[in-house]
Amino acid sequence: MLARAASRAAMRPMASGLARWSPVLASQHRAMALGPAASATKISDELLDKLGTLSTQSLIDGLWVMGWPTSFIEGARGLEKGQKCCGRAVTLRFVPQRPDIAADKPAGESSPEYEAFEKCGPKSVLVMSSIGPWESVGGDIKFLRLKQLGLGGLVTDGSVRDTDEILSYGFPCFSYSTTPKQGPAAMQPWECDGVIECGKVVVRPGDAIIGDQDGVVCVPASHAQQVYDIAHGREVVEGVIKEELVKNPGPPGRYYPFKPPIKPESPLGQLLTSKGIKFYSTRAGSGRGPFASRTGAARRMSSTPATMKAVVIRENGPAENLKYETDFPTPSVADGQVLVKNEYTGINFIDTYFRKGGPAYTQALPFVSGQEGGGVIVEVTPKAAEAGLAVGQRVAYSVLGTYCEYTAVPAAKIVNVPDGVGLDTATACMTQGLTAHYLTNHAHAGLVKPGEWMLIHGVGGGTCQWAAQMAKLKGYKVIGTCPKGKEDVGLATGVDELIVTDVIPGTPYEDYDSVPIVEKVKEITGGDGVKCVIDGIGKSTVDISIECLSRRGIFVTFGNASGAVPAFPPIRLIKKSAFLTRPKLLDYVSTREELMMRADEIFGWLQSGDLKVGIDKTFSLKDAASGHEYLEAGKSKGKVLYKVE
């Protein structure tokens, strides 16, 4: 296996290294120029499970609406009635038998077929391309290993043998037929995890393979989310049609089949409206990609309910005032906005301030809480499409009103989530990540330089866990504080020095009187103090923070975890000619350019592994009160999220 991987890797530089190009090499290695076998987009387990709930017919419809090539794997039928499979493709290509090929093929455990087998598991479907419908791709002895690995399914455009034994193995098997023939006499397994053609369909490793009684469909990993959204929307519409025809028997042609766009005045449009189903289809688009019509308008179809699940505050007060409702009106979108179907929404201390209410944290009642979310775009208006946004894109954003299924978001507030970054992580970026970025890069106004000391309180928690890492990435020397029980989190940020305090039970902050922090900071800095203090604690640390400053240092106070910083006369800062700022995030992402500058750098750090995000706990949206109580009790060691289900 290693030898084969090494040989494939060695081919790529030869094909792309222009400095070493020559006509001789070009002729010798033309066949070796390989594109990436798998898509850069990996289908998450969550999305894979969602795809598995849909019928292959709905998935084919979704791909058709997108203008995608046929994805029905011809000839692959279930060995017995009722079989279903769903998994990421592991591919294996067979080639016709030839003596020299048989001699060159790695033998024994290194054979490509066994290499493919070892990549399989419960979330995998092994896709095997045969050279003919009646040729055998394997039987009971070989496939015993697949049973041991808990394979999610096997799909081939060839045949299998030892049928009774294979059926007893328990994994779904879809093949052209069964056969008594032996495979090696006709073909050899030649390549594992390459791009293959199976049943006239191109399959890439990692694509979603869904099989049911109707057959098998390949869903491209690069657009799996978009396929799901469209297919799910069509299933909703078809469910309404079927329910109506059962209730009021008549010719289906009144409603079915349907194509986008559905006209509101049509019988189907009127039926959907009467059921509270919000529908839409053709919108102005970029005209790029396989989903664009010939007129340049994006073809897509989905449905959004008239009401949604949301956490609503109808009266300010304690956490139990967060009310989970299932019939809150779904927001409509104005031109220049998109509608995002949320998968995650973040929980932040500022949410607790708005929940309680007060002069600086007032929203008109009732309101949906939250201010950051991540999910998938399900509706795009013309102006948003002009900005390059499209249905199916994974995005994160920060606006008010995110503890809900759907949020209308201005295009200027949308951040596309790059491949390799999960939506949970991206959601965490939108408040804590962006806040940490402006705190460590710009809030201090350049009064601290790389190589100088910075004190950051609460590095065992959320925002300042990010801030400590970012400060180190920017070259500052960092002293962090954290309570006992969170030392592992604090040390993992890479701070140069960590001051550990006792904790006040039931609160989100340390007992800052339990340790002589000012003395320790002076000792660490050789008596000078720090050039910058980043403080999200507030009332309990204001005196400590000011005393820890060096000459012309700056006190950046951005949070009120222990209460608001009390008013004090400016003359207090004269001792060291100190500076004070009380910033907020909105003023540091005031333009689209500034937002993207911060987001791009954060996502870049995440992709490179330089920045680690700790998702501490994820609550169900139904359990909203528990999420706030957990945060306010000081239990978190990282980001706390709601999962929107």
User: Does one domain contain both 458 and 566?
Assistant: yes
Residues in Cβ contact with 513 at an 8 Å cutoff, skipping those fewer than 6 apart: none
For residue 349, the model assigns a pLDDT of: 87
Residues 544, 505, single domain; the answer is yes
The pLDDT tens digits for 141-157 are 999 999 999 999 999 99
Q: Which DSSP helix (H) or strand (E) runs through 202? A: strand 201-203
Specify the long-range contacts of residues 137-140, CB closer than 8 Å, at least 24 apart: 137/94, 137/175, 137/183, 138/113, 138/183, 139/165, 139/166, 140/165, 140/166
For the cut 60, the answer to whether the pLDDT of residue 288 exceeds it is no
Which of 390-394, 437-441, 599-603 bottoms out in mean pLDDT, i.e. has the lowest?
A: 390-394
pLDDT tier at 274 (50, 70, 90 boundaries)? confident
410 and 503 belong to one structural domain: no
| Domain co-membership, 335 together with 403 | yes
Whole-number average pLDDT of the chain: 87
If asked whether residues 578 and 623 sit together in one domain, one would say no
Distance CA 185, CA 136 (A): 10
What DSSP line would sit under 557-569, residue for residue?
A: E---TT-PPPP--
* 402 neighbors 342 (Cβ within 8 angstroms): yes
- Is residue 300 in a domain? no
449 and 422 inside one domain: no
Q: Which of 340, 633, 344, 330 is nearest to 504 (CA)?
A: 633
Q: Give 335's DSSP letter.
A: T
For residue 325, pLDDT over 90 is answered with yes
606 vs 10, more confident: 606
User: For position 282, what pLDDT does the model report?
Assistant: 34
In a domain, 96, yes or no: no
Angle (nearest 5°) at CA 520 between 518 and 525:
95
pLDDT in tens, 204-256: 999 999 999 999 999 999 899 888 888 888 888 888 899 899 999 999 999 98
Q: Average pLDDT for residues 79-99, to the nearest whole number? A: 94
Per residue in 162-188, pLDDT (tens digit) is 999 999 999 999 999 999 988 788 899
DSSP letter for each residue of 463-488? HHHHHHHHHHHTT-EEEEEEETT-HH
Whether residue 329 sits in one domain with residue 450? no
pLDDT for the residue numbered 284: 30
Provide the pLDDT for residue 6.
Answer: 39
For position 637, what pLDDT does the model report? 83
* DSSP annotation of 364: P
pLDDT at 4: 37
Predicted local confidence at residue 633, as pLDDT? 86
Sequence-ordered list of residues with C-beta below 8 angstroms from that of 362, at least 6 positions apart, any chain: 354
Amino acid 16: pLDDT: 35
As a whole number of angstroms, the distance between CA 232 and CA 277 comes to 13
Strand partners, 77: 175
The answer as to whether 398 is a domain residue is yes
Whether 452 and 499 map to the same domain: the answer is: yes
Q: What pLDDT, in 10s, does the model give residues 30-45?
A: 344 556 787 878 899 8
* Burial class of residue 465 in the structure, from the number of CB atoms within 10 Å of its CB (0-12 exposed, 13-18 middle, 19+ buried): buried
**Token digits for 594?**
């500034």
Amino acid at 98: R
CA 320 from centroid of its chain's CA atoms: 30
- 578 in any annotated domain: yes
Of 582, 604, 629, the last residue of a domain is: 582
Q: Are residues 414 and 491 in the same domain?
A: no
Return the pLDDT at 35. 67
In a domain, residue 325? The reply is: yes
- Sequence-ordered alpha helix ranges (H) in 259-329: 267-274
pTM here is: 0.58
pLDDT for residue 311: 97
Instruction: For residues 546-551, give the mean pLDDT.
Output: 97
- Which helix (H) or strand (E) segment holds residue 500: the answer is strand 497-503
What confidence score (pLDDT) does residue 283 get? 33
Provide CB contacts within 8 A for 390, sequence distance 6+: 285, 286, 291, 298, 377, 380
561-582 mean pLDDT:
93
Instruction: Assess if residue 638 is contained within a domain.
Output: yes
CA separation for the pair 56, 211 (Å, rounded): 7
Among 364, 379, 367, smallest CA distance to 298 is for 379
Q: How confident is the model at residue 509 (pLDDT cuts 50, 70, 90)?
A: low
The answer to whether position 198 is within a domain reads: no
**pLDDT in the model for residue 287:** 34
Question: Comparing 286 with 276, which gets the higher pLDDT?
Answer: 276
* Across 2-6, 310-314, 540-544, least confident range: 2-6
Q: Span 443-464, mean pLDDT?
A: 95
Specify whether 556 is located in the same domain as 468: yes
Maximal CA-CA distance, the chain: 94
- Report the C-alpha gap between 479 and 532 in whole angstroms: 10
Q: Residue 71 and residue 199: Cα distance in Å, rounded?
A: 9
Contact 612, 459 (CB under 8 A): no
**How many separate domains does the chain show?**
3
Distance linking the first and last C-alpha atoms of the chain: 41
Judgement on whether residues 460 and 578 belong to the same structural domain of the protein:
yes
| pLDDT on residue 189 | 93
Q: Say what the pLDDT of residue 279 is.
A: 63
Q: How many CB atoms lie within 10 A of CB 351?
A: 27
d(CA 234, CA 56): 12
- Residue 9: predicted pLDDT: 38
Three-state SS for 580-630 is EECCCHHHHCCCHHHHHHHHHHHHHHHHHCCCCCCEEEEEEHHHHHHHHHH
Q: How confident is the model at residue 601, as a pLDDT?
A: 96
Specify the pLDDT at position 15.
35
Q: Is residue 408 part of a domain?
A: yes
Residue 33: its pLDDT value, please?
54
Q: Rounded to whole angstroms, what are the CA distances from 58 to 52, 204, 296, 510, 532?
A: 11, 21, 25, 54, 57
Residue 629 has pLDDT above 50, yes or no: yes
pLDDT of residue 360: 78
Residue 331 has pLDDT above 80, yes or no: yes
Question: How far apart are the C-alpha atoms of 210 and 217, rounded to whole Å?
Answer: 5
| CATH number of the domain enclosing 356 | 3.90.180.10
Mean pLDDT across 505-522: 86
Question: Are both 476 and 574 inside the same structural domain?
Answer: yes
- Whole domain around residue 536: which residue ranges? 444-582
Pairing state of beta strands 307-313 and 322-329?
Answer: antiparallel
Predicted pLDDT of residue 561: 79
